[in-house]
Amino acid sequence: LPVVAVVGRPNVGKSTLVNRILGRRAAVVEDVPGVTRDRVAYEASWQGRRFTLVDTGGWDPDATGMALRIAEQAQVAAELADVVLFVVDATVGVTDADEAVGSVLRRSGKPVLLVANKADNQQVELEATALWSLGLGEPYPISALHGRGTGDLLDAMLDALPTPPPQEAGAPRGPRRVALVGRPNVGKSSLLNRMAGEERVLVDPMPGTTRDPVDELIELGGKTYRFVDTAGIRRRDRELKGADFYAAMRTRSALERSEAAVVLIDASEPLTEQDLRIISLVAESGRAMVLAFNKWDLLDEERRYYLEKEIDRKLVRTPWAIRVNISAKTGRHVEKLGPAIDRALESWGTRIPTARLNQFIGDQVRATPPPVRGGKQPKILFVTQASIEPPTFVFFTTGFLEETYRRFLERRIREEFGFVGSPIHMVMKIRE
């Protein structure tokens, strides 16, 4: 959803406006600057168009130093919003703080609607023309309290929103692209043969690629997947000189062309450095990941026990990868690869609504505040999911968050929203 942010110095009526737009009296409104509010983002709609409404007044519960933070908040708002509603008190006129916010917003290049609030009568409405001096165009005189002029303001806001992208839902996107990777001898070629059976369907390189990889369409559980660069796996060039080098190159190029990776591991032997390197490579590439433990037919009770220990000890960085235990030789559980890939790709493409995300993170932070650093309590002002594939979350904070705390948040996000099989990127933007 597009994001609309409401900014302005304390007491100009931001929360009243937010309530007016939401059509209810949910947010706490008091005539005291710096009142703490529960939430900062809401789902809202006008004329059937939905958007996320961000109330920047709720960002900093500290009353002290609040005035100094407004320009900063405006900066953050301008970064994350598609449209900014800049609220000024028309009965007061332009203050220094308004000037500061105005200059930040002018420089941002984002569409800004200048809201002249508290224009309860014609007299104030006339005075509102003085706000032209902010250089943000025509002021919209409104009374958030009585509802006067808010309809026109919201119409203008809709006009300023970016046009929604053409409906792509339902458009054929072709089979999902999967890389099959793993060190030599783990059974990649055997697995391909098992999955493809008699009928191998070879497909041309994708348009725009200069290399000559050959992909294969493979059916798993009734669905077709495009396994990329399988020619290299079948060529069995490990006897060639420099084979290791080529194998590494192939892994990278296959990852580049894929959406998900199946990392094949020989479960009958201890995990090697090379296995772990390939797993890291996949995680770093930002692809969805399925770990397939092959040669399961060779495992006895004892090896299974040690394998679990090894996994706990060595795969601590990627506990989110989906695991499947298979045997390319007997065909055991090979059909489970399809649903595992689907599940991982689903997480990979998941987008969490901004309001839900902020509500959830807010709850976490209240229950378990970030550790104090240098005598200061870092605050999380706002969180937004900037992108999918892989899911990338941007945290706007007032200070550095410890690695352990970031991992805690990642874990909680994974649990709450059901992210499995996909890496999650967390980006921290510190406003100090």
Binding interface with ligand GDP (CB under 6 A): 182, 184-190, 233, 294-295, 297-298, 327-329
Residues 59/92, Cβ–Cβ less than 8 Å? no
118 known member of a binding site: yes
Provide, rounded to whole angstroms, the least separation between the CB of residue 427 and ligand GDP: 36
Spatial separation of the C-alpha atoms in residues 322 and 418, rounded to whole Å: 12
Spatial separation of the C-alpha atoms in residues 23 and 304, rounded to whole Å: 59
For residues 18, 22, 27 and 31, what is the CA-based torsion angle, rounded to 10 degrees? 40
Pick the closer one to ligand GDP by CB: 113 or 334.
Answer: 334
Pick the closer one to ligand GDP by CB: 153 or 292.
Answer: 292
Provide, rounded to whole angstroms, the least separation between the CB of residue 184 and ligand GDP: 4
135 known member of a binding site: no
- Is 30 strand, coil or helix? coil
Spatial separation of the C-alpha atoms in residues 115 and 78, rounded to whole Å: 16
Q: Where are the alpha helices (H) located in 349-417, listed in sequence order?
A: 354-367, 403-417
Buried b (16+ CB within 10 A) or exposed e, 248-270: eebbebbbebbbbbbbbbbbbee
Provide, rounded to whole angstroms, the least separation between the CB of residue 157 and ligand GDP: 57
197 known member of a binding site: no
55 known member of a binding site: yes
Provide, rounded to whole angstroms, the least separation between the CB of residue 323 and ligand GDP: 16
Provide, rounded to whole angstroms, the least separation between the CB of residue 325 and ligand GDP: 10
The sign one gets for the Cα dihedral 69, 1, 355, 418 is: negative
Spatial separation of the C-alpha atoms in residues 416 and 360, rounded to whole Å: 8
379 known member of a binding site: no
Buried b (16+ CB within 10 A) or exposed e, 181-209: bbbeebbbbbbbebbbeeeeeeeebeeee
What DSSP state is assigned to residue 212? -
Pick the closer one to ligand GDP by CB: 328 or 352.
Answer: 328
Pick the closer one to ligand GDP by CB: 75 or 193.
Answer: 193
13 known member of a binding site: yes
Provide, rounded to whole angstroms, the least separation between the CB of residue 249 and ligand GDP: 16
121 known member of a binding site: no
- Residue 379: CB atoms within 10 A of its CB come to 18
Listed in order, strand segments (DSSP E) in 166-228 are: 176-181, 201-203, 215-220, 223-228
362 known member of a binding site: no
Pick the closer one to ligand GDP by CB: 144 or 179.
Answer: 179
Pick the closer one to ligand GDP by CB: 76 or 186.
Answer: 186
- Residue 115's nearest CA partner among 213, 389, 98, 49 is 98
Q: How many CA atoms lie within 13 A of 359 on its CB side?
A: 11
Provide, rounded to whole angstroms, the least separation between the CB of residue 277 and ligand GDP: 15
Pick the closer one to ligand GDP by CB: 45 or 274.
Answer: 274
Of all residues in the chain, what percent are helix, strand and coil, respectively (each to 5)? 40, 20, 40
Helix (H) or strand (E) segment spanning residue 99? helix 96-108
58 known member of a binding site: yes
231 known member of a binding site: yes
Pick the closer one to ligand GDP by CB: 218 or 328.
Answer: 328
Provide, rounded to whole angstroms, the least separation between the CB of residue 311 and ligand GDP: 18
Q: Which residues are annotated as a binding site for GTP?
A: 8-15, 55-59, 117-120, 182-189, 229-233, 294-297
Q: Which residues are annotated as a binding site?
A: 8-15, 55-59, 117-120, 182-189, 229-233, 294-297
